[in-house]
Amino acid sequence: MSPLHSARKWLDERLGWDDLIAPLRKKTVPTHRLSYWYFLGGITLFLFVIQVLTGILLLLYYRPGANEAFESVQYVMTQVQFGWLIRSIHSWSANLMIFTAFAHMFSVLFLKAYRKPRELTWVSGVILLFLVMGFGFSGYLLPWNTLAFFATKVGTEITAQVPVMGKPLMIFLRGGEEVTGATLTRFFGFHVAVLPGLATLLILVHVLLVQRLGMSVPPRLEVEWRANPSAKREMKFFPNFVLRELMAWYVALGVLGALAAIFPWNLGLKADPFAPAPAGIKPEWYFLFMFQTLKLIPPRVWFIDGEVVGVLAFGLVGLLWVLLPFFESDDPSRTKRWITGFAVFALMYVAGMSVYGHLAK
Amino acid sequence: MAISRNRFDFCAARCLVLASFVALAAGLSYGQVKNSCLDCHSALPEPLGVTQEKFSQDIHAQKGLTCASCHGGDPTSDDPDRAMSRKAGWKGKIDRRQVPRLCGSCHSDPAYIRQFNPSLRTDQLDQYHTSVHGKRLAGGDAKVAVCTDCHSVHDLRAPSDPRSTVNPVNVANTCARCHADASYMKGYSIPTDQFAKYSTSVHHEALAVRGDLSAPTCTTCHGNHGAAPPGVDRVQNVCSTCHVFQDQMYEKSSHRKAFQSASLPGCVVCHSNHGIRHPTDAMLGAGPDAVCMRCHTPGDSCDQARAGLFGELNQLDQAIQRADQVLGVAESSGMEVSEARLGQNQARDSLTKARVTIHSFRKELVDQDIQAGLKIAANNLQAGQKAMVERNYRRVGLGVSLVAIALMLVGLRLYIKKIES
């Protein structure tokens, strides 16, 4: 008996291993021309794992503090063996993860995979996307460089526009009236403890829901397959789909490695709180659409402050976004077309405003 | 009855309100001095015209002085004959020759000036008497500058006001009004191209273009109230007020004695005066911008020393440029070389220091700065080259990893094909 079989037998005798993985053996994945979109969730999860692993390695050297943070990241990039690679992969995979999370969300939206009974999968997924953006916002400040410092200043100022609780929220985020070393340690806490804890919990719920409810098929195909069950095509989750997912992960790893090696993540200049803000300061790309929208809103809309209107509007749209599945029809043959229209508009708006924000001075 | 009584009350109230207004107006106007001069002079053409708007800009008017403070007379009277009567102390137009004394009557009185500005100096008149302007005025030359020529009159502003004619930014233009006017300066036997030359100088660029108010203008070198040429043997003292280290080095040089004995004006010999250009290493060279060879003979020991110093400066300059270039490429490849970049500033500091030390014309002193700079530049170059080696190593590593990933993908694909066939 090979060592692998011995180990498996040992586990089976104690944990009932075969029973545990039996559902995975039985599980199938629908096969159709849009099946490729199923890989996006897995790639996002893969990138999250990379984030956790590289984040732990960075923690070995990173020192949160206004006087040490920049120097510690600089040390990682110049003195630590492969430190540059770990830091670059961490930064690049963070950005790729946010991109794939967005892409995954829109693919779910266009394939209408959020429909009954998967409403909670959607809700947990959208909240996960918000958490991922929170990871990006909190992590961006940690190297304590000029761009991050001022982007955080602008970003936290926007939270102050939230009616009633805005100012206390800003002070809570900053650890005071201004962005200081206190903000850095606070963001560090969010980035390495609060957000990972919440995200891990929510990822577990999300993945369990996906496993429990299986993969959704587009409504038209669902109607077709229901009418003609013999037309249904599927593959085994294990090993067929898992191996394909593994291939996708390898491709993601290759892209990540190439980006990290050819375009190592820049460190910039150390933040100087007393220096004037650089001209044209902008947030990270995934916040650009909101930032540009707020810039375009006039200072006053009727009698309300323009920024307050913008923040309230984004809050409302965010809430609507989370609750979107509950507006959808249960019948796959009678799905709501306005939701698809809304999704198309949202995608074009986010993409258009991001490009506009990137090009705007 | 009730109606007539009400009407009486209403009239009484109206009278009371009117009386209150009159009393208030009288109270407000109390203490303000009537100035009838402007009533007429604001309607007169130049040079007699002085508008209320113009005079209100004058610092004297802002401090509460009136026309009568300088011109005498009775500004409270609306009758021109009475207002401008000699009996009331009216002096009329102040004669140019009397202007410094008139201004000095207040500005040389510390007790009086202290009321308005305790930090304002009160030695302007004394200084003026020592100036070329003052001396010539005393000698009967009324064409020379008096206080009002530079400070303006009736709209005189504090020197700190950017609109003031004596604000550092405007001083050169103010001086040039006379000194650049060849016909006005005819008979004084001094050049009139100072302003034209100054406009091309590094000092003018610093002051007017870069807005550096500490950069020198005419008065910085010549003095203001005591304006005079610094004198051949005093030029070094003037320049050294800003260029301290150059002066210290020059003190150690053999040129100091040589220039002194030949009555040459120190710094000006090589750098000129009004048209001082940004100094370059080429001044030490043998090309068209070279200054040494104006006095020295090609091939003599001084020329050889010059060539040695020139070569050393070039060597350090080129070493810095080489390191900059390599670091630039490394940086654009995403390599972290900020420490070496910072080190480049130190190398540049050494070059600047060497360029200052050049004023000693002592090879051993210049060598110290050059060698220190070369060492730093070499370290930075090495850091850049190391970064480039690291970059190439990373790319090779990436290539190997991508090949491994590609092989893995092919293997997985084949395996999937096998289990699905």
The domains of chain A are located at 31-274
Exposure pattern of B53-71 as b/e (b: 16+ CB <10 Å)? eebebbbbbeeeebbbebb
Predicted local distance difference test score (pLDDT) of residue A22: 83
Do A250 and B416 make contact, defined as CB atoms within 8 angstroms?
no
Predicted local distance difference test score (pLDDT) of residue B16: 52
Which value does ipTM take for this structure? Answer: 0.86
Q: What is the mean pLDDT of residues A144-166?
A: 91
Tell whether the model's pLDDT for residue A77 goes beyond 60: yes
Q: What is the mean pLDDT of residues B54-83?
A: 91
Give the span between the Cα atoms of A152 and A158, in whole angstroms: 10
Predicted local distance difference test score (pLDDT) of residue A161: 87
Do B419 and A239 make contact, defined as CB atoms within 8 angstroms?
yes
Give the span between the Cα atoms of B174 and B166, in whole angstroms: 7
Domain boundaries, chain B: 301-420
Do A254 and B338 make contact, defined as CB atoms within 8 angstroms?
no
Do B336 and A84 make contact, defined as CB atoms within 8 angstroms?
yes
Residues 380-399 of B with CB under 8 A from A: 394-395, 397-398
Q: Which CATH number fits domain A31-274: 3.90.1300.10, 3.30.70.120, 1.20.810.10, 3.40.50.670?
A: 1.20.810.10
Give the span between the Cα atoms of B69 and A303, in whole angstroms: 56
pLDDT band at B29, cuts 50/70/90? very low
A239 neighbourhood in chain B, CB within 8 Å: 419
Searching chain A, which residue's CA lies closest to the CA of residue B331? A266
Q: Look over chain A and give the mean of its residue pLDDT values, rounded to a whole number.
A: 93
The count of residues in chain A is 361
Exposure pattern of A43-80 as b/e (b: 16+ CB <10 Å)? bbbbbbebbeebbebbeebbebbbeebbebbbebbbeb
A263 neighbourhood in chain B, CB within 8 Å: 334
Mutate to test the interface with A, among B342, B405, B418 (most CBs of A within 10 A): B405
Shortest Cα–Cα distance, B391 to chain A (Å): 8
Whose CA is closest to B283, among B304, B259, B313? B313
The count of residues in chain B is 421
Q: Is the dihedral of CA B51, B52, B55, B60 positive or negative?
A: positive
Strands of chain A (E only): list them.
28-30, 234-236, 300-301, 304-305
Strands of B270-374 (E only): list them.
none
Tell whether the model's pLDDT for residue A249 goes beyond 90: yes
Do A264 and B334 make contact, defined as CB atoms within 8 angstroms?
yes
Q: Is the dihedral of CA A200, A201, A206, A210 positive or negative?
A: positive
Q: What is the mean pLDDT of residues A263-272?
A: 90
CATH 1.20.140 is the classification of domain B301-420 = yes
Tell whether the model's pLDDT for residue A288 goes beyond 90: yes
Q: What is the mean pLDDT of residues A244-253?
A: 96
Note whether A134 contacts B: Cβ–Cβ < 8 A.
Answer: no
pLDDT band at A280, cuts 50/70/90? confident
Tell whether the model's pLDDT for residue B404 goes beyond 70: yes
Give the span between the Cα atoms of B293 and B92, in whole angstroms: 61
Give the span between the Cα atoms of B243 and B268, in whole angstroms: 13
Nearest to A261 among B336, B395, B416 (CB): B395
Do A264 and B335 make contact, defined as CB atoms within 8 angstroms?
yes
Tell whether the model's pLDDT for residue B17 goes beyond 60: no
End-to-end CA, chain B: 124
Do A247 and B398 make contact, defined as CB atoms within 8 angstroms?
no
Tell whether the model's pLDDT for residue B6 goes beyond 90: no
Note whether A82 contacts B: Cβ–Cβ < 8 A.
Answer: no
Tell whether the model's pLDDT for residue B3 goes beyond 50: no
Do B409 and A258 make contact, defined as CB atoms within 8 angstroms?
no
Give the span between the Cα atoms of A326 and A195, in whole angstroms: 27
Tell whether the model's pLDDT for residue B4 goes beyond 50: no
Tell whether the model's pLDDT for residue A40 goes beyond 90: yes
Q: What is the pTM of this model?
A: 0.69
Tell whether the model's pLDDT for residue B260 goes beyond 90: no
Note whether A324 contacts B: Cβ–Cβ < 8 A.
Answer: no
Q: What is the mean pLDDT of residues A342-349?
A: 96
Q: Give the lowest-confidence range in A132-141, B53-62, B229-238, B392-401.
A: B229-238
Q: What is the pLDDT of residues A188-231, one digit of tens each?
A: 999 999 999 999 999 999 999 998 899 999 999 999 999 999 99
User: Which pair of tokens denotes residue B63?
Assistant: 């401090």
Do B338 and A74 make contact, defined as CB atoms within 8 angstroms?
yes
